[in-house]
């Protein structure tokens, strides 16, 4: 039972996170702790049996102890959303679907608010509407300007959606007023050029959000939570200045909101706000400035992913509640584990976006790189119950990279006897290399999680052991899982054996010296990471078993031109520049003729490209590599042959699977991860494949 309402004061004092586990009294209702699961679109509502699946997904998070859940955005009417996101709440049939969700959450002792989201000009929808007919830079559709009656109709839709939400059993609603969506578009001069009573003065621009909140409150009564998500930093030109944010916040409070949530950055902003390269809790300072004048609880958010971090934010007094969204994809049991002082068992969100946001932008359902069962709860439950405990196998896993670790821990949790081997001195495989890239420090957390899971599930771990097939044939094992990973691809050109030609492993793992002018061959994820690493010349020793150092928030904000003084419109200084000049001259090359880095993640690739451009890295496409000699790298681009005068060449040209153990193996075996297929392999596929194989045994 994780109901903290009755925990005595001394009980809270004894917790490692006393502030996080303080209940919050809203008068008519109490939240059992200060953790909110923030709104995330998952694509479940549009899927077959989507609401049953969504009910299992939200139910699992409620069971995991979170104080309050906010659903993914639900449209007040279909035109207010993108064509592929048409889940609205406007009929009794839809209300019944939502009942499945609210019942599942309440059964677990949780509380849930429905987010009402009108996408305005961001809706990928030819019928999209907005205050003014100004297309967003990230959308092909120019919105239709709403008439006065049209504006009133939209306000009415918000109110009706809230009324439906109440009837469907929700504990409240969150009005989405940030991120550059419809309501935000009325507030900012950038998108509101109206001259009627809905545009011009601040009083006119905020009339719509205030009317929405007033209307909802009038309709739903006092015993229903209204959260308003307020854009505290727009991070776009002609966005709202913070002085206006304060006025809007006060008006929203007066209109009847119970809680103000923090929104950071419009979707079209060219400043990272949630990617892994953003320091933890990089934006709570702005919630703190808002909270100083607020009379109702304030929620802060963005890149808070551990109970320690959340407690620190509360202790500083930056906010009254902490919103975490992706951390609940990574681990539904986050809150329970924190409350039981088992934070080291939390599967931490590493901020990669690879299986959550990137999936949605690719039109797929969301899941999670570190938890491939996220949003597949109904399927996962079946794999847990079908297993026959009498059929426990004795399994050897070779390779303790992400694929092997995922398989080993999941298989052992199902009762199999699992022994894992690795030739390295520590678990983690390539993640030990990835975690040294500036901005990828979070990868450490995944290794900490797996290390603990190996212990908890009783996996026998044998490090510093390069396994041979004879060893595996000795009769000890019923099955062998080969998770031996990959070998870097070498380049078959003249001069490739020169001492100044290095593989990415030579640079990142073995710390071989690198010159000042460097050609990087191959512009995939690893080519970009090597460039980032070489720019900073940090050459860190592997940070091993220690938690990563927190990066400086001041450096981050200065680097991206975020106005911490809050005096500029949109809170942008216009003066963002890298805080450390590049230490090297880098050339990043690919054979393809398209944009360099085009295959990087949809929601993070632009950050990597921008970072390298800002540091003066020269990106070249359409390259044919001819040879490497004393002069440097000889290459041909189109018809032109030239020499790139570099002192080091680093090869990042992909990988080949390492399958050397297959030959001579007489025990049944399965290949997973890079050892199975190296092309296009990433940790998302490696972990998923490991988990699914374990679930099938
Ligand atoms: P590996 O991680 O390669 O693990 C294989 C293990 O097998 C190794 O530990 C090796 O020592 C062991 N082994 C091999 N042969 C034997 C043997 N005979 N006996 C004993 N042990 C053996 N992926 C992402 O998804 N997102 C990223 O942002 C990302 N960034 C990356 C950055 C860098 C710099 C690098 C190098 C990789 C990155 N990756 C990223 C890729 C990701 O790390 C790999 O896809 C993933 O590690 C593959 O997992 P795996 O378990 O198949 O293999
Ligand atoms: P990759 O993404 O497949 O990129 C390999 C690069 O090498 C490409 O630029 C490719 O482009 C080039 N190349 C391929 N064959 C070549 C050859 N024979 N000669 C010369 N160039 C060649 O692989 P990676 O960069 O090694 O990354 C490995 C995996 O880790 C990837 O699947 C990636 O998803 C994952 N990863 C992800 C991230 C992330 O941020 N999400 C970061 C790092 C790694 P051309 O063929 O055009 O030259
Ligand atoms: Fe976090 Fe990555 Fe999982 Fe998304 S996919 S929830 S960013 S770990």
> pLDDT tens for residues 550-607?
779 999 999 999 999 999 999 999 888 888 888 899 999 999 999 999 999 999 999 9
Catalytic residue among 170, 181, 228, 444: 181
The model scores a pTM over 0.85: yes
Given a contact cutoff of 8 angstroms between Cβ atoms, the answer to whether 159 and 216 are in contact is: yes
Output the ligand 3 site: residues, CB below 6 A: 326, 329-330, 349-356, 368-370
At residue 12, the pLDDT reads 55
Of ligand 3's atoms, which has the minimum distance to the CA of residue 326?
6
Q: Look at 243 and 544; give whichever has higher pLDDT.
A: 243
Output the ligand 2 site: residues, CB below 6 A: 354, 489, 491, 521-527, 529, 590-592, 601, 652-655, 680-682
Whole-number average pLDDT of the chain: 93
d(CA 596, CA 521) in angstroms, rounded, equals 12
pLDDT at 544 over 80: no
How much helix, strand and coil, in percent to the nearest 5, is found in the chain? Answer: 35, 15, 50
At residue 312, the pLDDT reads 97
Q: What percent of the chain has pLDDT over 70?
A: 95
Output the ligand 1 site: residues, CB below 6 A: 352, 354, 398-404, 421-424, 429-431, 433-434, 437, 466-467, 483-486, 508, 525-526, 529, 658, 661, 673-675, 681-684, 686
Q: What percent of the chain has pLDDT over 90?
A: 86
Alpha carbon 162 to chain centroid distance?
28
At residue 531, the pLDDT reads 97
The number of the ligand nearest the C-alpha atom of 353 reads 3
d(CA 647, CA 534) in angstroms, rounded, equals 14
Q: Look at 13 and 443; give whichever has higher pLDDT.
A: 443
Q: How many residues does the chain have?
A: 697
Closest CA to 685 of 352, 414, 418: 352
At residue 4, the pLDDT reads 40
Nearest CA to ligand 3 atom 2: 352
pLDDT at 357 over 50: yes
Average pLDDT over residues 68-90: 83
At residue 5, the pLDDT reads 44
d(CA 123, CA 115) in angstroms, rounded, equals 16
pLDDT at 474 over 60: yes
d(CA 386, CA 309) in angstroms, rounded, equals 38
SS3 of 486, please?
strand
C-alpha 670 – ligand 2 centre gap (Å): 25
With the CA atoms of 444, 448, 450 and 451 taken in that order, what torsion angle do they form, in degrees rounded to the nearest 10?
130
> pLDDT tens for residues 83-104?
766 677 888 888 899 999 999 9
pLDDT at 263 over 70: yes
pLDDT at 1 over 50: no
Average pLDDT over residues 192-219: 98
Nearest CA to ligand 1 atom 15: 484
CA angle (677, 683, 686) in 5-degree steps: 45
Pure H helices in 145-221: 148-167, 182-187, 202-205, 207-220
Active site (annotated) includes residue 449 = no
C-alpha 549 – ligand 3 centre gap (Å): 20
The number of the ligand nearest the C-alpha atom of 355 reads 3
Q: How far apart are the first and last CA of the chain?
A: 32
At residue 538, the pLDDT reads 60
Work out the pLDDT band at 6, boundaries 50, 70, 90.
very low
C-alpha 344 – ligand 3 centre gap (Å): 18
pLDDT at 652 over 90: yes
d(CA 38, CA 356) in angstroms, rounded, equals 14
At residue 548, the pLDDT reads 62
At residue 45, the pLDDT reads 86
C-alpha 652 – ligand 2 centre gap (Å): 7
pLDDT at 633 over 90: yes
Work out the pLDDT band at 3, boundaries 50, 70, 90.
very low
Nearest CA to ligand 1 atom 43: 430
SS3 of 649, please?
strand
Nearest CA to ligand 2 atom 10: 522
């Amino acid at each position: 039972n994780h109901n903290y309402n009755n925990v005595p004061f001394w009980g809270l004092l004894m917790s490692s996170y006393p502030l996080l586990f303080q209940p919050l009294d809203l008068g008519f209702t109490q939240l059992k702790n200060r953790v909110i699961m923030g709104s995330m679109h998952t694509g479940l509502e549009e899927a077959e049996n989507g609401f049953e699946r969504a009910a299992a997904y939200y139910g699992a998070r409620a069971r995991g102890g979170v104080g309050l859940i906010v659903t993914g955005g639900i449209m007040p009417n279909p035109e207010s959303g993108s064509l592929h996101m048409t889940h609205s709440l406007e009929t009794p049939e839809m209300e019944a679907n939502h009942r499945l969700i609210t019942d599942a959450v309440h059964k677990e002792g949780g509380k849930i608010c429905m987010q009402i989201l009108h996408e305005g000009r961001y809706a990928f929808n030819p019928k999209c509407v907005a205050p003014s007919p100004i297309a967003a830079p990230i959308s092909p559709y120019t919105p239709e300007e709403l008439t006065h009656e049209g504006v009133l109709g939209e306000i009415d839709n918000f109110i009706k959606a809230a009324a439906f939400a109440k009837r469907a059993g929700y504990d409240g609603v969150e009005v989405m007023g940030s991120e550059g969506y419809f309501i935000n578009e009325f507030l900012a001069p950038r998108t509101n050029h109206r001259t009627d009573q809905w545009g011009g003065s601040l009083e006119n621009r905020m009339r719509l959000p205030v009317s929405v909140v007033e209307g909802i409150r009038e309709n739903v009564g006092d015993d229903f939570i209204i959260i308003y998500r307020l854009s505290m930093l727009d991070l776009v030109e002609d966005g709202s200045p913070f002085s206006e944010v304060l006025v809007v916040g006060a008006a929203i409070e007066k209109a009847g909101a119970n809680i103000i949530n923090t929104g950071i950055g419009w979707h079209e902003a060219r400043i990272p706000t949630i990617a892994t390269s953003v320091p933890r809790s990089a934006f709570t300072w702005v919630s703190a400035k808002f909270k100083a004048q607020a009379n109702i609880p304030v929620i802060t958010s963005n890149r808070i992913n551990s109970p320690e971090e959340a407690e620190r934010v509360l202790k500083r007094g930056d906010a009254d509640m902490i919103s975490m969204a992706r951390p609940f994809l990574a681990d539904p049991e986050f809150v329970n584990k924190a409350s039981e002082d088992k934070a080291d068992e939390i599967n931490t969100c590493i901020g990669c976006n690879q299986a959550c946001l990137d999936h949605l932008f690719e039109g797929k359902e969301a899941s999670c790189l570190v938890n491939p069962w996220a949003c597949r709860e109904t399927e996962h439950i079946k794999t847990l119950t079908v297993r026959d405990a009498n059929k426990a196998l004795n399994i050897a896993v070779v390779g303790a990279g992400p694929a092997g670790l995922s398989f080993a821990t999941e298989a052992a949790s199902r009762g199999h006897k699992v022994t894992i081997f690795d030739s390295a001195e520590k678990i983690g495989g390539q993640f030990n290399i990835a975690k040294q890239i500036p901005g990828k420090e979070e990868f450490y957390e995944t290794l900490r999680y797996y290390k603990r899971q190996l212990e908890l599930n009783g996996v026998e771990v044998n490090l510093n052991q390069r396994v041979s097939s004879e060893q595996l044939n000795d009769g000890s094992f019923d099955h062998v899982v080969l998770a031996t990973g990959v070998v870097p691809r070498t380049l078959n050109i003249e001069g490739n054996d020169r001492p100044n030609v290095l593989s990415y492993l030579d640079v990142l793992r073995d710390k071989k010296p690198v010159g000042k002018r460097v050609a990087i061959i191959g512009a995939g994820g690893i080519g970009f990471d090597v460039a980032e690493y070489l720019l900073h010349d940090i050459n860190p020793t592997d940070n091993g078993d220690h938690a990563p150092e927190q990066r400086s928030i001041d450096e981050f904000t200065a680097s991206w031109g975020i106005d911490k003084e809050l005096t500029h419109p949109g809170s942008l200084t216009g003066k963002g520049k890298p805080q450390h000049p590049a230490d090297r001259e880098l050339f990043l090359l690919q054979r393809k003729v398209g944009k360099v880095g085009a295959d990087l993640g949809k929601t993070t690739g632009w950050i990597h490209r921008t970072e390298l451009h800002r540091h003066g890295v020269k990106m070249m496409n359409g390259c044919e590599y001819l040879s490497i000699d004393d002069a440097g790298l000889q290459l041909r681009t189109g018809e032109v042959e030239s020499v790139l005068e570099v002192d080091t060449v680093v090869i990042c040209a992909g990988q080949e699977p390492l399958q050397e153990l297959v030959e001579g193996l007489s025990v049944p075996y399965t290949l997973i991860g890079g050892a199975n297929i190296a092309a296009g392999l990433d940790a998302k596929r490696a972990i998923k494949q490991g988990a699914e194989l374990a679930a099938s045994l």
